[in-house]
Structure 1
Amino acid sequence: MTSPHPAHARISIIGAGPGGLTCARILQRHGITVTVHDRDAGPDSRDQGGSLDLHADNGQIALRAAGLLDQFFELARPEGQEMRQMDPTGTITSHQVPADDEMFKPEIDRGQLRGLLLDSLLPGTVDWGHALEYVSGPAEGPRRLHFTDGTTVEADLVIGADGARSRVRPAVSPAVPEYSGVSFLEAWFDDVDDRHAEIAGLVGRGGAHVADGERAMFAQRNGGDHIRVYLIQRVPADWIRASGLTPQDTEGIRSLLLDRYAGWSPRLLRILTDNDGPYVDRPILALPVPHTWEHSPTVTLLGDAAHLMPPLGVGVNLAMLDAADLAAALRDATTVEDAVRVYEKTMLPRSAEMARLLEGGAEHLLGDDDRAA
């Protein structure tokens, strides 16, 4: 099969996260038709998670290419760049306060960013409620997307923007994410200024990180008077069930946490245990370093599907920069295959370099430095 011109190609993006939506937005700005398939039933079917800091040297570059940078600045929270480092007694050991005009990495809630991107797309761009099962077809194309509801779609280019457990990745790579040995336990607090005023005062307007070498906590102010907390531990992947508990046993997990964090300041223990609602277990996974694959003219990856790394503030930024680079390559190339080659020539070395820098980085979150992000 001869690789088509991008303007005439059937392009399918799998995953309506920041990377996939950014790619779709930039392609549409240049008159290239694209469809995004996502497993969610709709844009509001689940919580989108916490806050993101979009950096001037990658995430913001992508938003500029998408024509959305000014709208982003209207939504972003520059004050969210404040960072407090504390020891287990609750004493602040480092305090970074952004200047009034600092906009290098302002915060935005994931849901707000997704809404900004979705609103910028042509109606009907996102095909909701379609979970990909696998990709078939010859490397030269066309490819066939098989969804869990039994439907199929044919495509000249499949872009895997479907995260850590990508269903597109097996079409080009046998790699699977591996557990890092470090797990996050997520908790959240609502109406914090009224209902959790002491916790709000500890965290401040941005984030707060506490660690003692064996366990840690990262608390992050979100928009809408919310705070999310990530309790960071070096534990087996199945540590909750191995302790005789289930993820739904909130009181049992609280009791276990009080034992594990014994000796920490009572003020900090309130951050660990006074949360609203259940905990969410999030084991930290990473792809092998470096993660590369043999070129395919009809399938490529971006974001966590391509280079899953520890959560140290770069994931969404790299995903959006990937998206912008891929869209630009498709805009400028004469064939889809040429565009994929140009994109991967830039993306793969960049992601490999960053992955090497962050390899084992989940362990650093347990130390008493300021690498949590």
Structure 2
Amino acid sequence: MTVHLCHSIPGYEDCGPGGLTLARLLQVNEIPCAVFELDRNRYNRSQGGSLDLHEGSAQIALREAGLFDQFMAVARPEGEVLKIYEPDGNLLLDESTGHGERRPDSFNGRPEVDRVQLRDMLIDSLSAGTIQWGRKLSAVKTTAEGLNPTYDLHFADGTTETEFSLVVGADGTWSKVRSLLSDTRPQFSGINGVDVKLSNIDSVDAKLSKRVGLGMCLTLGSNTTILSQRNGDGCVRSYGFMRLTEDWARTCGINWSRPAEAKQQFLDLYYKDFDQDSQDLILKADDDSVIPRPLYMLPIGHKWPHRAGLTLIGDAAHVMAPFAGVGVNVAMEDALQLARSLVACKDICSKTAVNTHERHLSNAVRDYEEAMFVRAEAYAKETWMYLNLFFHERGGHPMCEHFANAKKKQQQQAEAPEVPAKAVNVES
């Protein structure tokens, strides 16, 4: 059994960690795999901001991949804290000082790690030659139908790789592999805005650095936000997001080719009611970091009919907006569950006739998909709930109320008396 992963078509959340985690888990279990990667090398482009990896999903995948200790060596537990401000600078919540109602315990155990650190750790764990760099996928074509289908991969450089029995699309929001399984395309989430980075914030503005803190800092107005997060390299990434149209960047009148002016225009148009500190997170950001960023999502409950020899993980399967902070965790859990299914298939195939192997492989992938559909739908519903808390006409108050209610429910559950088990008499 050889698994081929089509990888990393750019999107808001590229699915690099999911595909790389799957490759590592397969190699740990002596299942050959190849990764076809769009990027020319690991340094080809920015890998985005910080990620929080959850105990019940991504961290389990790293444990099974033999990488958990390496992860903890670079992880930042101090980055788990959250601040929430109103646009006028009034502080609603600061978990670092105990101001306001802290989130429930389910938010603990989620240390931050920079995306580039996680990606490098996964790349370095793979056997030499596993990743074929600079292979931009243009199409996947079926070369044999029936019980034992095979597929050819066609690349933008005119080359072709042929006769694969299992292709896993880990190729992100605009997945090419998805088109063979589903006609559904990602839809605009209703959220648009800009993505910026302020490098070396401690030296640029110590007061602003203190405002952000060590983790996530949210300034939540009426359907308009500035969301900031400290990264391990000393920068702060900020997102000026709000409810806008999909074509906003093209029609708003801002000249994005002149970023210094564009930042000021952006603030003048949408952030006049925000205090100077929150505006400075945009205004003082690096000029070369300003990127208009519409956010996309697949419909909640997206699924496809099983097709032998093809499947999807991560954003290719269920791209979500980032507001529940679960995207990378769902992708790495996908990798974990698919790897477990393929390992079980390998064990079965070692004991059965060769002519039944493709059927066992197809069943293994089907089992993964059916469980993943349920899991992804629950995460997508959670993400949609948080999107509507981030972008609310009452600003940050509904989110704080949500955390307080969740905390109260947690305490009630902890204090509830245990119900003793009833004895059952069984007559012989």
Same fold (TM over 0.5): yes
- Residues 178-257 of structure 1: matches in 2 within 5 Å? 178-257=187-266
Where 1:21 maps in the other structure, the secondary structure is helix
Q: Is the Cα–Cα contact under 8 Å of residues 180 and 360 in structure 1 kept in the other structure?
A: no
Question: Which residue in the other structure is 2:378 paired with?
Answer: 353
Q: Is the Cα–Cα contact under 8 Å of residues 2 and 31 in structure 2 kept in the other structure?
A: no
Distance 1:42 1:98, change over 3 A: farther
* 2:112 maps to amino acid: E
Where 1:223 maps in the other structure, the secondary structure is coil
The whole-number CA distance in structure 2 between the counterparts of 1:360 and 1:94 is 20
Q: Is the Cα–Cα contact under 8 Å of residues 257 and 272 in structure 1 kept in the other structure?
A: no
Question: Which residue in the other structure is 2:296 paired with?
Answer: 285
**276, 286, 289: which is aligned to 1:266?**
276
TM-fit CA distance, 1:361: 4.3
Question: Which residue in the other structure is 1:3 paired with?
Answer: none
Spell out, residue by residue over 1:220-275, the C-alpha distance to the aligned partner (whole angstroms, 9 max, x if none): 00012111001111112222221223432213322322221112112222112111
Q: Is the Cα–Cα contact under 8 Å of residues 167 and 311 in structure 2 kept in the other structure?
A: yes
TM-fit CA distance, 1:310: 1.5
* 2:238 maps to amino acid: V
- Residues 273-352 of structure 1: matches in 2 within 5 Å? 273-278=283-288, 279-311=290-322, 312-333=324-345, 334=349, 335-352=360-377
- Where does structure 2 lack aligned partners over 5 or more consecutive residues? 9-15, 99-106, 350-359, 404-428
- Residues 1-373 of structure 1: matches in 2 within 5 Å? 9-15=1-7, 17-97=16-96, 104-137=109-142, 138=144, 140-154=148-162, 155-259=164-268, 260-278=270-288, 279-311=290-322, 312-333=324-345, 334=349, 335-359=360-384, 361-367=386-392, 368=396, 369=399
The whole-number CA distance in structure 2 between the counterparts of 1:25 and 1:305 is 19
Distance 1:77 1:218, change over 3 A: same
* 1:11 maps to amino acid: V
The whole-number CA distance in structure 1 between the counterparts of 2:96 and 2:60 is 24
Larger Rg belongs to: 2
CA RMSD of aligned residues (A): 1.9
Question: Which residue in the other structure is 1:6 paired with?
Answer: none
The whole-number CA distance in structure 1 between the counterparts of 2:280 and 2:296 is 28
Spell out, residue by residue over 1:263-308, the C-alpha distance to the aligned partner (whole angstroms, 9 max, x if none): 2112222112111123111211010121110101100001110011
Q: Greater shift after overlay, 160-169 or 344-353? A: 344-353
Q: Greater shift after overlay, 327-336 or 124-133? A: 327-336
Where 1:359 maps in the other structure, the secondary structure is helix
TM-fit CA distance, 1:120: 0.5
The whole-number CA distance in structure 1 between the counterparts of 2:97 and 2:337 is 30
* 2:299 maps to amino acid: P
Distance 1:328 1:108, change over 3 A: same
Q: Is the Cα–Cα contact under 8 Å of residues 220 and 229 in structure 1 kept in the other structure?
A: yes
**What percentage of residue pairs aligned between the two structures are identical?**
37
Q: Is the Cα–Cα contact under 8 Å of residues 226 and 278 in structure 2 kept in the other structure?
A: no
* 2:229 maps to amino acid: Q
TM-fit CA distance, 1:91: 2.1
The alignment covers a number of residue pairs equal to: 362
* 1:297 maps to amino acid: A
Where 1:283 maps in the other structure, the secondary structure is coil
Q: TM-score, normalised by structure 1?
A: 0.93
TM-fit CA distance, 1:185: 1.0
The whole-number CA distance in structure 2 between the counterparts of 1:184 and 1:62 is 33
Q: Is the Cα–Cα contact under 8 Å of residues 303 and 322 in structure 1 kept in the other structure?
A: yes
TM-fit CA distance, 1:110: 0.4
TM-fit CA distance, 1:170: 0.4
